[in-house]
Amino acid sequence: MTRSNVYIKLTGGRKLLFVLGSTSSPGQRFIVEKFLTPLLALNDPSKELEWIETFADHVNELHTDASYRYVIDLEKKTVRFYEEHYNHKTGTFWKGKDLTEERYLPYVRSLNPPQTS
């Protein structure tokens, strides 16, 4: 099972944490096509929160066994994708390697290949 901790800033500035479950890696289609793309198009904090609550495993908490971290800013329409790490001794999470250029963006581009004439 692949989990991702999500750190998000809603339109309007409210910050929120939540966990996405077993389909949270970019190549697993769900996260990009079924969750992120519609979320990025909403532009309304109450609709964004409703959308998140529909998909999130847990809102306002993080999981220590998460493999990935998404950092999403809905005001700027940006998504960053990282490895996620947790130190059991100190009880702290930290961002690992930035995988945005390596895994997230290539998957997004594969959905909308450039048109050639």
Written as six digits, the tokens of 106 are 């290539």
Element (H, E) at 15: strand 15-20
Query: What whole-number distance in Å separates Cα of residue 89 and Cα of residue 87?
Result: 6
Query: What whole-number distance in Å separates Cα of residue 4 and Cα of residue 93?
Result: 12
pTM of the model: 0.89
Fold of the CATH domain 4-111: Nucleotidyltransferase; domain 5 (3.30.420)
User: In this predicted structure, what is the pLDDT of residue 22?
Assistant: 67
- pLDDT tens for each residue of 22-31: 666 666 678 8
Alpha helices in 1-117 (DSSP H): 37-40, 45-55, 105-111
DSSP 115: P
- pLDDT tens for each residue of 11-24: 999 999 999 886 66
How is the chain split into domains, by residue range? 4-111
